[in-house]
Chain A
């Protein structure tokens, strides 16, 4: 197979790919080699999307397409102590990736139930052949240049396998650390989560920076939720404001699977968060919950594609955005109800607060319904912090800053409250609090702990 690219912009990717192929893990496995080559070929054909395409109308990715990135190597040194703020207390295991490369000395696997596999994808590729037919099965790159590109460079990431009937209570965390790089670097993390029937698991993907630098992370996560599973996925983006982060979470839900996707976008310069669940078995339930908080010149684009393929499934999308200064947010909520998906109940809500005149939000619902007996609702609001609510709080003695913080926290907590109580939520409540404009010590106390005290006292 000979590879060419049609545009000079993509030339550097061809060079990177040629070099990558020489040392990529599992390259001796024919299926994998072919998968990568097909990915690259498709990427070359598609090229990067432009704002002329409907799915990218509000997001100009020229900071990505106009930059030449080198594939990040694994040479950056990170001290364990630097990661302390990023450890989620109560996690079962935490895999650490530095610029996309698994770093065992920083990771802890913890004690996991028998049969559960948590390892790096590179390891899984090298030691097993069982990934054939699984990797790339659901994340189709046919019409998506970023997935195609990720597939071409597929090498490392997190692999989580939960056998039938096993319940893993504590969250499994995948921590992706970007370090400052002298030249723009790129990484293509690929995660594969498989939850077999009747199992239960929580997976957290957390993207953080130590030192600032231009890094382009292009992530694909395939999440298979077997029949009767209970699966929660968290995406946390809190990288430096030079980071470019495009992620796709592709969820495949079987019969009666109950899946939650929670996104918390705080950091990054240009962030595109694709969430694409397919409800492929009857009785599935999917919660797609997100909060994005942007300031400066941050651009945060949330693209939801919820596909109902089978009858009697519920999907709930709730996204709240808080945008300050010149930040630009996008919420694109697409729902496709296929012809067999009768009795679908799909709901979508996007609420936004603009804190400055220059902040901007584009919100767009897109419903495509091919079944006749369905319930689909959508709604979006854009507003400011309400003067009458502010006055109400101030009239009770809270100063203006405290009142504003409280209202922002309340707005943000609508999303936090949809998360199951536990270590991840507790961690994210504190994280959100510290991130809101004028970092707010006062409101920290509004979290779960105080609430609990009150209940105990009652």
Chain B
């Protein structure tokens, strides 16, 4: 059984059909990349999987670990191991990163009936993950994403992922806005998370990140549909021909 099984997913936003029948199956241990032009529905898909309720599912089914993901609230999905690294991470003034993240860790622990983690145990663990992403420790006492540069926000998302150890991680354009050094650091962080019992879905426009995080599968999303799937070479082909080229080919198939 796949970790994630999306069947004929249709999604509307404000009466506008954005996803028009997505089928996708992701197994534990795999890395999938979703590519596609602006506005094709990549973030919509990512957020529906993280259970954003403003997106209305009009048809289809999503099974995650065999359970009905679409019946879950965002916090349930999170506690079940779904993680979304946001394309636009939200600033939350007044709440420190450390406090926020420890609350998140403890919410999961509580969900699983485990004992909560106190600050003494949490801080060293958190610091270790920050170190992996080469993030200054001082960030932990700063408000969540407040005043962070674009790159710092993205890196902070990956730190959160590393701390929360999800089963299914969806990274929505985590590479955009990163300089080459930051990109390598983020890629290192993501690769460190690759494991046989975890799946990673990388939404990106560029081959750049995929040079470091080599995907097992690449899917092309155009206008709410996956028009083509293939191996890592598909990303290179896209870089070469553009979406239009690949799409045309798909239509011919």
Residues of A within 8 A of B (CB): 386-389, 391-400, 402-403, 406-407, 409-414, 417, 442, 445-446, 450-451, 453-455, 457-458
Contacts and interface: CB of A to CB of B under 8 A. Distances in A.
Contact of B92 (A397, A410, A412, A442): A410
A391 B52 contact: yes
Nearest to A412: B94
Contacts of B105: 397
A399 B119 contact: no
A389 B86 CA distance: 12
A451 B141 contact: yes
B75 A442 contact: no
A455 B141 contact: yes
Q: Provide the main secondary structure of the chain A interface.
A: helix
Nearest to A407: B92
B90 interface: yes
A400 B73 contact: yes
Among A397, A414, A455, A458, the most chain B Cβ lie within 10 Å of the Cβ of A397
Interface of B: 47, 50-54, 73-75, 77-79, 83-84, 86, 89-90, 92-96, 98-101, 103-105, 107-108, 111, 119-120, 123-124, 137, 140-141, 143, 160, 164
A137 B118 CA distance: 55
B92 A394 contact: no
Contacts of B124: 457
18 contacts: A389-B90, A389-B92, A391-B53, A396-B100, A396-B101, A397-B105, A397-B108, A400-B73, A406-B95, A410-B92, A414-B93, A442-B103, A445-B99, A446-B95, A450-B99, A450-B119, A454-B123, A454-B141
Nearest to B95: A410
Nearest to B141: A454
Nearest to A455: B141
Given A413-B94, A458-B140, 12 more contacts: A388-B90, A392-B89, A394-B75, A394-B78, A395-B51, A397-B105, A397-B164, A414-B94, A442-B103, A450-B119, A454-B141, A458-B137
A413 B78 CA distance: 27
B78 A396 contact: yes
A387 B141 contact: no
Given A398-B103, A398-B107, A393 B119 contact: no
Nearest to B143: A410
Contacts of A417: 94
A397 B94 contact: no
B123 A457 contact: yes
B205 to A, nearest CB: 22
Contacts of B101: 396
Contacts of A397: 75, 78-79, 104-105, 107-108, 111, 164
A166 to B, nearest CB: 35
Given A389-B92, A454-B98, A395 B137 contact: no
B84 A395 contact: yes
Contacts of B95: 406, 409-410, 446
A333 B152 CA distance: 37
Contacts of A450: 99, 119
Contacts of A410: 92-95, 143
A409 B95 CA distance: 8
Contacts of A454: 96, 98, 119, 123, 140-141
B79 to A, nearest CB: 5
A387 B137 CA distance: 29
Contacts of B78: 394-397
B37 to A, nearest CB: 23
A395 B103 contact: no
Given A410-B95, A445-B99, A450-B119, A399 B89 contact: no
A109 B49 CA distance: 62
A451 B96 contact: yes
Contact of B94 (A396, A409, A458): A409
B94 A391 contact: no
Contacts of A411: 94
B117 to A, nearest CB: 12
A413 B107 CA distance: 22
B158 to A, nearest CB: 14
Q: Determine which residue in A393, A396, A450 has the highest number of CB atoms from chain B within 10 A of its CB, and name it.
A: A396
Q: 10 nearest interchain CB pairs?
A: A410-B94, A397-B107, A394-B74, A396-B104, A397-B78, A392-B90, A413-B94, A397-B104, A410-B95, A394-B75
Given A442-B103, A454-B123, A454-B141, A396 B160 contact: yes
Contacts of B73: 394, 399-400
Contacts of A446: 95-96, 99
A14 to B, nearest CB: 50
A412 B94 CA distance: 8
Contacts of B77: 395
A30 to B, nearest CB: 54
A442 B103 CA distance: 9
A458 B122 CA distance: 12
A320 to B, nearest CB: 10
